[in-house]
Amino acid sequence: MKQSLEMPTKNLICFSHLRWDFVFQRPQHLLTRFSAHAHVYYMEEPIFDVNDDAYLHLSARENGLTVVVPHLKAGLSASEVHNTLTALLDKFFQSSDLQDWTFWYYTPMALSFSDKYKPKFIVYDCMDELSAFKFAPEELITLERRLLAKADLVFTGGHSLYESKKQQHSNIHPFPSSIDKAHFAQARSIENEPADQQHIVGKKLGFYGVIDERFDIELIGNMATLRPDWQFVLIGPVVKIDEATLPRNKNIHYLGQKSYNELPGYLSGWDMALIPFQLNESTRFISPTKTPEYLAAGKPVISTPIRDVVKPYGIKKLVHIASSCDEFIEAIDSEFSKSDTSEWLTEVDEFLNDISWDQTFETMVKHMNTTLISNKKISIAS
Protein backbone atom coordinates (compact mmCIF):
# COMPACT_ATOMS: atom_id res chain seq x y z
CA MET A 1 0.00 0.00 0.00
CA LYS A 2 1.28 3.46 -0.90
CA GLN A 3 1.38 5.56 2.24
CA SER A 4 1.82 8.74 0.14
CA LEU A 5 -1.55 8.29 -1.57
CA GLU A 6 -3.45 11.58 -1.60
CA MET A 7 -6.92 11.37 -0.07
CA PRO A 8 -9.83 13.58 -1.20
CA THR A 9 -10.81 14.39 2.42
CA LYS A 10 -9.36 13.99 5.89
CA ASN A 11 -12.46 12.20 7.18
CA LEU A 12 -14.79 9.54 5.83
CA ILE A 13 -18.03 8.22 7.29
CA CYS A 14 -19.47 5.01 5.87
CA PHE A 15 -23.17 4.22 6.20
CA SER A 16 -23.61 0.46 6.06
CA HIS A 17 -26.29 -2.20 6.44
CA LEU A 18 -23.64 -4.72 7.52
CA ARG A 19 -22.18 -5.17 10.99
CA TRP A 20 -18.44 -4.59 11.05
CA ASP A 21 -17.86 -7.75 13.09
CA PHE A 22 -20.21 -9.96 11.06
CA VAL A 23 -18.40 -11.29 7.97
CA PHE A 24 -15.14 -9.75 6.74
CA GLN A 25 -15.90 -8.69 3.17
CA ARG A 26 -15.77 -5.77 0.72
CA PRO A 27 -16.47 -2.91 3.18
CA GLN A 28 -13.88 -4.19 5.65
CA HIS A 29 -11.23 -4.71 2.96
CA LEU A 30 -11.67 -1.22 1.54
CA LEU A 31 -12.25 0.81 4.68
CA THR A 32 -9.31 -0.64 6.59
CA ARG A 33 -7.21 0.63 3.70
CA PHE A 34 -8.88 4.04 3.78
CA SER A 35 -8.21 4.24 7.51
CA ALA A 36 -4.45 4.12 6.87
CA HIS A 37 -4.80 7.52 5.18
CA ALA A 38 -7.84 9.21 6.74
CA HIS A 39 -10.07 9.14 9.82
CA VAL A 40 -12.74 6.54 9.04
CA TYR A 41 -16.05 6.09 10.86
CA TYR A 42 -18.15 3.05 10.04
CA MET A 43 -21.78 3.66 11.01
CA GLU A 44 -23.94 0.57 11.39
CA GLU A 45 -27.69 0.30 11.49
CA PRO A 46 -29.23 1.10 14.91
CA ILE A 47 -29.73 -1.30 17.79
CA PHE A 48 -32.98 -0.79 19.67
CA ASP A 49 -32.01 -1.56 23.24
CA VAL A 50 -32.13 1.56 25.45
CA ASN A 51 -34.74 2.84 27.88
CA ASP A 52 -33.44 6.39 28.14
CA ASP A 53 -31.75 8.75 25.71
CA ALA A 54 -30.43 7.49 22.40
CA TYR A 55 -26.68 7.65 21.88
CA LEU A 56 -23.87 6.71 19.50
CA HIS A 57 -21.42 4.12 20.76
CA LEU A 58 -17.96 4.62 19.27
CA SER A 59 -15.37 1.84 19.40
CA ALA A 60 -11.85 2.19 18.01
CA ARG A 61 -10.54 -0.57 15.79
CA GLU A 62 -7.31 -1.28 13.93
CA ASN A 63 -5.58 1.45 11.89
CA GLY A 64 -7.61 4.22 13.47
CA LEU A 65 -10.99 3.08 12.14
CA THR A 66 -13.94 3.74 14.46
CA VAL A 67 -17.17 1.73 14.48
CA VAL A 68 -20.24 3.84 15.26
CA VAL A 69 -23.39 2.12 16.51
CA PRO A 70 -26.60 4.07 17.22
CA HIS A 71 -28.50 2.80 20.26
CA LEU A 72 -32.19 3.76 20.18
CA LYS A 73 -35.33 3.08 22.16
CA ALA A 74 -37.41 0.10 21.07
CA GLY A 75 -40.83 0.67 19.56
CA LEU A 76 -40.06 3.91 17.73
CA SER A 77 -41.99 4.74 14.58
CA ALA A 78 -40.14 5.20 11.29
CA SER A 79 -40.35 8.98 11.59
CA GLU A 80 -39.10 8.87 15.18
CA VAL A 81 -36.15 6.70 14.12
CA HIS A 82 -35.38 9.20 11.33
CA ASN A 83 -35.55 12.18 13.69
CA THR A 84 -33.46 10.49 16.37
CA LEU A 85 -30.72 9.44 13.94
CA THR A 86 -30.65 12.93 12.42
CA ALA A 87 -30.28 14.45 15.88
CA LEU A 88 -27.44 12.05 16.70
CA LEU A 89 -25.66 12.95 13.47
CA ASP A 90 -26.17 16.66 14.17
CA LYS A 91 -24.35 16.18 17.44
CA PHE A 92 -21.66 14.03 15.79
CA PHE A 93 -20.91 16.72 13.17
CA GLN A 94 -21.51 19.77 15.38
CA SER A 95 -17.86 20.87 15.41
CA SER A 96 -16.89 19.53 11.99
CA ASP A 97 -16.34 21.25 8.69
CA LEU A 98 -18.24 18.99 6.28
CA GLN A 99 -15.85 20.06 3.51
CA ASP A 100 -13.35 17.78 5.23
CA TRP A 101 -15.70 14.78 4.91
CA THR A 102 -16.54 12.05 2.41
CA PHE A 103 -19.89 10.28 2.83
CA TRP A 104 -19.57 6.68 1.65
CA TYR A 105 -22.80 4.69 1.31
CA TYR A 106 -23.43 0.95 1.19
CA THR A 107 -27.10 1.33 2.01
CA PRO A 108 -29.41 3.91 0.42
CA MET A 109 -31.59 3.60 3.53
CA ALA A 110 -29.13 5.84 5.38
CA LEU A 111 -30.03 8.71 3.08
CA SER A 112 -33.31 9.07 4.98
CA PHE A 113 -31.43 10.64 7.91
CA SER A 114 -28.27 11.97 6.23
CA ASP A 115 -29.73 13.68 3.16
CA LYS A 116 -29.61 17.20 4.61
CA TYR A 117 -25.81 17.24 4.99
CA LYS A 118 -23.55 18.62 2.28
CA PRO A 119 -20.15 16.92 2.55
CA LYS A 120 -17.34 17.60 0.14
CA PHE A 121 -17.78 14.24 -1.56
CA ILE A 122 -20.39 11.47 -1.80
CA VAL A 123 -19.65 7.92 -2.96
CA TYR A 124 -22.17 5.13 -3.43
CA ASP A 125 -20.41 1.75 -3.45
CA CYS A 126 -23.26 -0.42 -4.71
CA MET A 127 -21.96 -3.86 -3.79
CA ASP A 128 -25.32 -5.68 -4.18
CA GLU A 129 -28.81 -5.21 -5.57
CA LEU A 130 -30.23 -4.86 -2.06
CA SER A 131 -33.81 -4.39 -3.25
CA ALA A 132 -33.80 -8.03 -4.42
CA PHE A 133 -32.82 -9.41 -1.00
CA LYS A 134 -35.27 -11.02 1.37
CA PHE A 135 -37.02 -8.55 3.72
CA ALA A 136 -35.75 -5.52 1.74
CA PRO A 137 -37.57 -2.30 2.83
CA GLU A 138 -40.14 -1.02 0.34
CA GLU A 139 -38.63 2.45 0.24
CA LEU A 140 -35.16 1.20 -0.69
CA ILE A 141 -35.66 1.63 -4.45
CA THR A 142 -36.86 5.23 -4.05
CA LEU A 143 -33.98 6.09 -1.73
CA GLU A 144 -31.47 4.54 -4.12
CA ARG A 145 -32.74 6.76 -6.94
CA ARG A 146 -32.19 9.78 -4.69
CA LEU A 147 -28.73 8.57 -3.73
CA LEU A 148 -27.77 8.02 -7.37
CA ALA A 149 -28.91 11.56 -8.13
CA LYS A 150 -26.90 12.96 -5.21
CA ALA A 151 -23.67 10.91 -5.43
CA ASP A 152 -20.55 12.34 -7.06
CA LEU A 153 -19.24 8.89 -7.86
CA VAL A 154 -20.70 5.37 -8.02
CA PHE A 155 -18.93 2.02 -7.85
CA THR A 156 -20.55 -1.37 -8.40
CA GLY A 157 -19.63 -4.73 -6.92
CA GLY A 158 -19.41 -6.44 -10.31
CA HIS A 159 -19.83 -6.11 -14.04
CA SER A 160 -23.42 -7.37 -14.22
CA LEU A 161 -24.48 -4.85 -11.58
CA TYR A 162 -22.64 -2.15 -13.54
CA GLU A 163 -24.58 -3.08 -16.69
CA SER A 164 -27.80 -2.76 -14.70
CA LYS A 165 -26.95 0.65 -13.21
CA LYS A 166 -24.76 2.35 -15.83
CA GLN A 167 -27.60 4.38 -17.36
CA GLN A 168 -28.49 5.82 -13.95
CA HIS A 169 -25.27 7.76 -13.33
CA SER A 170 -22.71 9.52 -15.49
CA ASN A 171 -19.72 8.63 -13.30
CA ILE A 172 -20.04 4.93 -12.51
CA HIS A 173 -17.33 2.25 -12.51
CA PRO A 174 -17.37 -1.55 -11.96
CA PHE A 175 -15.13 -3.04 -9.26
CA PRO A 176 -15.67 -6.82 -9.02
CA SER A 177 -14.65 -8.82 -5.99
CA SER A 178 -10.94 -8.59 -5.29
CA ILE A 179 -8.61 -10.58 -3.08
CA ASP A 180 -5.86 -10.66 -0.49
CA LYS A 181 -3.86 -13.35 -2.28
CA ALA A 182 -1.16 -13.83 0.35
CA HIS A 183 -3.79 -14.46 3.03
CA PHE A 184 -5.63 -17.22 1.17
CA ALA A 185 -2.50 -18.70 -0.44
CA GLN A 186 -1.54 -19.79 3.08
CA ALA A 187 -3.99 -22.67 2.59
CA ARG A 188 -1.55 -24.27 0.16
CA SER A 189 1.06 -24.83 2.87
CA ILE A 190 -0.94 -25.26 6.10
CA GLU A 191 -0.52 -28.85 7.30
CA ASN A 192 -2.86 -29.05 10.28
CA GLU A 193 -6.57 -28.39 9.87
CA PRO A 194 -8.59 -26.72 12.65
CA ALA A 195 -9.71 -29.11 15.39
CA ASP A 196 -13.40 -29.16 14.45
CA GLN A 197 -12.54 -30.19 10.89
CA GLN A 198 -9.78 -32.70 11.60
CA HIS A 199 -12.20 -35.44 12.63
CA ILE A 200 -14.09 -35.27 9.32
CA VAL A 201 -12.72 -38.18 7.31
CA GLY A 202 -13.11 -38.45 3.56
CA LYS A 203 -13.16 -36.20 0.54
CA LYS A 204 -14.13 -32.72 1.70
CA LEU A 205 -16.20 -30.29 -0.36
CA GLY A 206 -16.38 -26.92 1.33
CA PHE A 207 -18.29 -23.64 1.34
CA TYR A 208 -17.90 -20.57 3.50
CA GLY A 209 -20.14 -17.53 3.56
CA VAL A 210 -23.56 -16.49 4.74
CA ILE A 211 -26.12 -19.29 4.45
CA ASP A 212 -29.27 -17.41 3.47
CA GLU A 213 -31.95 -17.25 0.77
CA ARG A 214 -29.25 -17.29 -1.92
CA PHE A 215 -27.83 -20.64 -0.80
CA ASP A 216 -29.17 -23.75 -2.60
CA ILE A 217 -29.80 -26.05 0.34
CA GLU A 218 -31.67 -28.52 -1.87
CA LEU A 219 -28.63 -28.91 -4.12
CA ILE A 220 -26.36 -29.65 -1.16
CA GLY A 221 -28.89 -32.09 0.33
CA ASN A 222 -29.27 -33.98 -2.95
CA MET A 223 -25.52 -34.27 -3.51
CA ALA A 224 -25.00 -35.44 0.07
CA THR A 225 -27.65 -38.13 -0.43
CA LEU A 226 -26.28 -39.33 -3.77
CA ARG A 227 -22.66 -39.33 -2.59
CA PRO A 228 -22.63 -40.32 1.09
CA ASP A 229 -18.85 -40.86 0.90
CA TRP A 230 -18.29 -37.15 0.23
CA GLN A 231 -18.14 -34.79 3.21
CA PHE A 232 -19.78 -31.37 2.84
CA VAL A 233 -18.25 -28.73 5.13
CA LEU A 234 -20.38 -25.58 5.45
CA ILE A 235 -18.93 -22.59 7.29
CA GLY A 236 -20.90 -19.46 8.08
CA PRO A 237 -23.91 -18.02 9.89
CA VAL A 238 -27.48 -19.00 8.96
CA VAL A 239 -29.43 -15.83 8.23
CA LYS A 240 -33.01 -15.05 7.13
CA ILE A 241 -33.93 -18.72 6.61
CA ASP A 242 -35.30 -21.30 9.01
CA GLU A 243 -32.51 -23.59 10.23
CA ALA A 244 -35.08 -26.41 10.35
CA THR A 245 -35.10 -26.39 6.53
CA LEU A 246 -31.39 -27.25 6.30
CA PRO A 247 -30.54 -30.82 5.24
CA ARG A 248 -29.19 -32.92 8.09
CA ASN A 249 -27.37 -35.75 6.33
CA LYS A 250 -24.56 -37.28 8.35
CA ASN A 251 -22.06 -36.14 5.74
CA ILE A 252 -23.09 -32.48 5.98
CA HIS A 253 -21.16 -30.60 8.65
CA TYR A 254 -22.26 -27.14 9.82
CA LEU A 255 -19.25 -25.61 11.55
CA GLY A 256 -20.72 -22.16 12.18
CA GLN A 257 -19.15 -18.76 11.63
CA LYS A 258 -15.36 -18.45 11.55
CA SER A 259 -13.14 -15.41 11.52
CA TYR A 260 -11.44 -14.16 8.37
CA ASN A 261 -8.06 -15.20 9.78
CA GLU A 262 -9.27 -18.78 10.31
CA LEU A 263 -10.50 -19.37 6.77
CA PRO A 264 -7.18 -20.46 5.18
CA GLY A 265 -6.87 -23.17 7.81
CA TYR A 266 -10.23 -24.64 6.87
CA LEU A 267 -9.54 -24.30 3.15
CA SER A 268 -6.29 -26.22 3.59
CA GLY A 269 -8.22 -29.41 4.32
CA TRP A 270 -10.73 -29.19 1.49
CA ASP A 271 -10.42 -31.13 -1.73
CA MET A 272 -12.76 -28.77 -3.56
CA ALA A 273 -14.69 -25.56 -2.97
CA LEU A 274 -18.32 -24.91 -3.83
CA ILE A 275 -20.41 -21.89 -4.80
CA PRO A 276 -23.90 -23.41 -4.59
CA PHE A 277 -26.05 -20.33 -5.08
CA GLN A 278 -29.55 -20.42 -6.44
CA LEU A 279 -30.36 -18.44 -9.56
CA ASN A 280 -32.90 -15.87 -8.39
CA GLU A 281 -33.33 -12.11 -8.05
CA SER A 282 -31.04 -11.95 -5.02
CA THR A 283 -28.15 -13.57 -6.91
CA ARG A 284 -28.72 -11.96 -10.30
CA PHE A 285 -26.00 -9.34 -9.85
CA ILE A 286 -23.70 -10.80 -7.19
CA SER A 287 -19.95 -11.13 -7.64
CA PRO A 288 -18.89 -13.64 -4.96
CA THR A 289 -15.68 -12.61 -3.24
CA LYS A 290 -15.11 -16.25 -2.39
CA THR A 291 -14.42 -17.12 -6.07
CA PRO A 292 -10.90 -15.62 -6.24
CA GLU A 293 -10.29 -16.54 -2.58
CA TYR A 294 -10.96 -20.23 -3.24
CA LEU A 295 -8.69 -20.08 -6.29
CA ALA A 296 -5.88 -18.34 -4.41
CA ALA A 297 -6.04 -21.22 -1.93
CA GLY A 298 -5.39 -23.56 -4.84
CA LYS A 299 -8.75 -25.30 -4.66
CA PRO A 300 -10.80 -26.39 -7.69
CA VAL A 301 -14.14 -24.55 -7.70
CA ILE A 302 -17.57 -25.69 -8.85
CA SER A 303 -20.24 -22.99 -9.11
CA THR A 304 -23.77 -22.56 -10.30
CA PRO A 305 -23.95 -20.23 -13.35
CA ILE A 306 -23.78 -16.92 -11.51
CA ARG A 307 -23.17 -14.32 -14.22
CA ASP A 308 -20.08 -12.76 -12.65
CA VAL A 309 -18.60 -16.21 -12.05
CA VAL A 310 -19.32 -17.49 -15.56
CA LYS A 311 -17.60 -14.39 -16.91
CA PRO A 312 -14.66 -14.40 -16.49
CA TYR A 313 -13.92 -17.53 -14.42
CA GLY A 314 -16.05 -20.05 -16.28
CA ILE A 315 -15.16 -18.77 -19.73
CA LYS A 316 -11.46 -19.00 -18.89
CA LYS A 317 -12.04 -22.53 -17.52
CA LEU A 318 -10.68 -21.61 -14.11
CA VAL A 319 -13.96 -22.63 -12.46
CA HIS A 320 -16.41 -25.42 -13.32
CA ILE A 321 -19.93 -24.16 -14.04
CA ALA A 322 -22.74 -26.59 -13.20
CA SER A 323 -26.50 -26.02 -13.40
CA SER A 324 -27.84 -29.11 -11.63
CA CYS A 325 -27.02 -31.73 -9.05
CA ASP A 326 -25.95 -34.17 -11.76
CA GLU A 327 -23.67 -31.57 -13.35
CA PHE A 328 -22.10 -30.75 -9.97
CA ILE A 329 -21.40 -34.42 -9.34
CA GLU A 330 -19.98 -34.85 -12.85
CA ALA A 331 -17.67 -31.85 -12.41
CA ILE A 332 -16.51 -33.04 -9.00
CA ASP A 333 -15.85 -36.57 -10.30
CA SER A 334 -13.90 -35.05 -13.18
CA GLU A 335 -11.68 -33.13 -10.76
CA PHE A 336 -11.11 -36.16 -8.56
CA SER A 337 -9.97 -38.13 -11.62
CA LYS A 338 -7.19 -35.66 -12.46
CA SER A 339 -3.67 -36.66 -11.51
CA ASP A 340 -2.02 -33.35 -12.35
CA THR A 341 -3.54 -29.88 -11.85
CA SER A 342 -0.30 -27.89 -12.12
CA GLU A 343 -1.18 -26.34 -15.50
CA TRP A 344 -4.58 -25.18 -14.17
CA LEU A 345 -2.95 -23.76 -11.05
CA THR A 346 -0.43 -21.82 -13.15
CA GLU A 347 -3.31 -20.31 -15.15
CA VAL A 348 -5.09 -19.42 -11.91
CA ASP A 349 -2.04 -17.65 -10.52
CA GLU A 350 -1.50 -15.76 -13.77
CA PHE A 351 -5.11 -14.59 -13.76
CA LEU A 352 -4.98 -13.49 -10.10
CA ASN A 353 -1.63 -11.76 -10.51
CA ASP A 354 -3.10 -8.33 -11.22
CA ILE A 355 -6.01 -8.55 -8.77
CA SER A 356 -5.75 -7.21 -5.21
CA TRP A 357 -7.71 -5.12 -2.72
CA ASP A 358 -4.75 -2.72 -2.58
CA GLN A 359 -5.07 -2.11 -6.31
CA THR A 360 -8.86 -1.76 -6.07
CA PHE A 361 -8.53 0.76 -3.25
CA GLU A 362 -5.89 2.84 -5.04
CA THR A 363 -7.90 2.91 -8.27
CA MET A 364 -11.02 3.99 -6.38
CA VAL A 365 -9.08 6.86 -4.78
CA LYS A 366 -7.81 7.93 -8.21
CA HIS A 367 -11.42 8.05 -9.44
CA MET A 368 -12.34 10.15 -6.41
CA ASN A 369 -9.55 12.65 -7.01
CA THR A 370 -10.29 12.86 -10.72
CA THR A 371 -13.94 13.51 -9.96
CA LEU A 372 -13.07 16.28 -7.51
CA ILE A 373 -10.90 17.99 -10.11
CA SER A 374 -13.71 17.69 -12.63
CA ASN A 375 -16.25 19.08 -10.12
CA LYS A 376 -14.00 22.09 -9.47
CA LYS A 377 -13.72 22.83 -13.17
CA ILE A 378 -17.48 22.64 -13.58
CA SER A 379 -17.98 24.90 -10.56
CA ILE A 380 -15.53 27.50 -11.92
CA ALA A 381 -17.08 27.37 -15.39
CA SER A 382 -20.57 27.89 -14.02
Facing residues of 154 across strands? 124, 172
How much of the chain exceeds pLDDT 90, in percent?
A: 86
Predicted pLDDT of residue 2: 41
Query: Residue 261 in 3-state DSSP?
Result: helix
- pLDDT score for 336: 97
When pLDDT is cut at 50, 70 and 90, the band that residue 4 belongs to is: low
Report, as an integer, the average pLDDT of 289-308.
Answer: 97
Cα 53 from chain centre: 33
pLDDT value of position 282 = 84
Q: Are strands 39-43 and 47-50 parallel, antiparallel or unpaired?
A: unpaired
Q: What is the reported pLDDT for 260?
A: 96
Strand partners, 121: 102
How many CB atoms are closer than 10 A to CB 256? 10
Q: How many Å apart are CA 103 and CA 381, to the nearest integer? A: 25
Q: What is the mean pLDDT of the chain?
A: 94
Q: What's residue 290's pLDDT? A: 96
Answer whether 123's CB lies under 8 Å from 155's CB. yes
Query: Which tens digits make up the pLDDT trace of 325-344?
Result: 999 999 999 999 999 999 99
Whether the per-residue pLDDT at 27 is higher than 60: the answer is yes
- Whether residue 304 contacts residue 275, with contact meaning beta carbons closer than 8 Å, is answered with yes
Q: Is the pLDDT confidence value at 122 over 80?
A: yes
Backbone phi, psi, residue 131, to 5°: -65, -20
pLDDT in tens, 159-201: 999 999 999 999 999 999 899 999 999 999 999 999 999 999 9
256 DSSP β-pair partners: 235
- pLDDT the model gives residue 379: 59
How confident is the model over 213-238, as a mean pLDDT?
A: 97
pLDDT in tens, 43-88: 999 999 999 899 999 999 987 899 999 999 999 998 999 999 999 9
Q: Which of 197, 257, 260, 265 is nearest to 232 (CA)?
A: 197
pLDDT above 70 covers what percent of the chain? Answer: 96
pLDDT at 97 over 50: yes
Considering only CA atoms, which of 62, 297, 281 is closest in space to residue 289? 297
- Residue 252: pLDDT band (50, 70, 90) is very high
Domains with residue ranges and CATH for the chain? 11-178+356-381 (3.40.50.2000), 181-352 (3.40.50.2000)
Confidence band for 1, pLDDT divided at 50, 70 and 90: very low
DSSP assigned state of 322: -
**pLDDT at residue 86, rounded to an integer:** 96
pLDDT band at residue 347 under the 50/70/90 scheme? very high
Average pLDDT for 24-42: 95
Q: What is the pTM of this model?
A: 0.91
Residue 343 is predicted with a pLDDT of 97
Chain CA centroid to CA 61, Å: 19
Please calculate the CA angle 250-252-257 and round it to the nearest 5 degrees: 135
CA-based R_g, the chain, Å = 22
Residue 38 predicted with pLDDT over 90: yes
CA distances from 261 to 12, 266, 315 (A): 26, 10, 31
pLDDT value, residue 378: 62
Q: How confident is the model at residue 128 (pLDDT cuts 50, 70, 90)?
A: confident
